[in-house]
A and B are shown apart, each in its own frame.
Chain A
């Protein structure tokens, strides 16, 4: 089936702390895993993505890890800042479809307090 589970649904941290969001996917043929940040009233903004031939990818304070065996991938944000507050969505690209269909998790509301 096509399913992406995302946890936690809400996450509150103090400025400077780290935040971790975890996702699990069901389609073993999935090979592309983007993360999007969505602020109120805006469309999702890509913040980082990873492909199945890579185990980890970093971009400044953001990193994503992928465990294909366990079908898990995670977003790590270090040194959080108040402007990181938003809803974060993980997604997985369904495989073997002949087109690119992203299946999204249910989202994590991150609140970074000063």
Chain B
């Protein structure tokens, strides 16, 4: 079975630009969570979506937004990029929202110049 897939693998943007990252969960999983991993640190929670609704949000500014589609895939959008947004963005899928193992994708490496 295919695991969590993310695209693109790498992305280079300049300050002020906008970026969209994509994630496809494991087949049968209805929840997608997004995490930001800055180099040398553990992942930090950004959002969780379940059944197309936002279920939880971490301590990130409104420049970060996301949505989940009827096929349970998800997009993470970041507006007005800052240098500090450079990180590995990870998507994790799980069967449900409140519990269940989260399986991570390979991530999208975003570099903001």
User: How many residues of chain A have a CB within 8 Å of chain B?
Assistant: 25
A89 x B102 contact (CB < 8 A): no
Is B48 at the interface (CB under 8 A from chain A)? yes
Max chain B C-beta neighbours (<10 A), residue from A43, A49, A105, A107: A43
A43 x B105 contact (CB < 8 A): yes
- The residues of A that contact B33 with a CB separation of less than 8 Å are 100-102
B50 x A99 contact (CB < 8 A): yes
B41 x A101 contact (CB < 8 A): no
Taking residues whose C-beta sits less than 8 angstroms from the other chain, chain B's interface range is: 20 to 34
B101 x A101 contact (CB < 8 A): no
Is A25 at the interface (CB under 8 A from chain B)? no
- The residues of B that contact A45 with a CB separation of less than 8 Å are 104
B107 x A101 contact (CB < 8 A): no
What is the minimal beta-carbon distance from B97 to any residue of chain A, in angstroms?
5
Write the chain B residue with the least CB distance to A94: B45
B101 x A99 contact (CB < 8 A): no
Interface hits, B56-113 → A, CB 8 Å: 56, 58, 90, 94, 97-107
The answer for the CA separation of A61 and B2 in the assembled complex, in Å, is 26
Write the chain A residue with the least CB distance to B50: A99
B90 x A43 contact (CB < 8 A): yes
Is A97 at the interface (CB under 8 A from chain B)? yes
Indicate which residue in A91, A98, A100, A107 contacts B94 across the interface (CB closer than 8 Å). A100
Provide 5 A-B residue pairs closer than 8 Å at the C-beta atoms, listed in order of the A residue. Answer: A32-B99, A36-B104, A45-B104, A93-B99, A101-B45
Q: Which residues of B contact A (CB under 8 A)?
A: 4, 31, 33, 35, 40-45, 48, 50, 55-56, 58, 90, 94, 97-107
Starting from the known contacts A46-B101, A100-B33, 17 additional A-B residue pairs (CB-CB under 8 Å) come to A32-B99, A43-B4, A43-B104, A43-B105, A44-B104, A46-B102, A89-B42, A91-B42, A99-B98, A100-B97, A100-B98, A100-B102, A101-B56, A102-B45, A103-B45, A104-B43, A105-B42
Q: Which residues of A contact B (CB under 8 A)?
A: 4, 6, 32, 34, 36, 42-46, 49, 89, 91, 93, 97-107
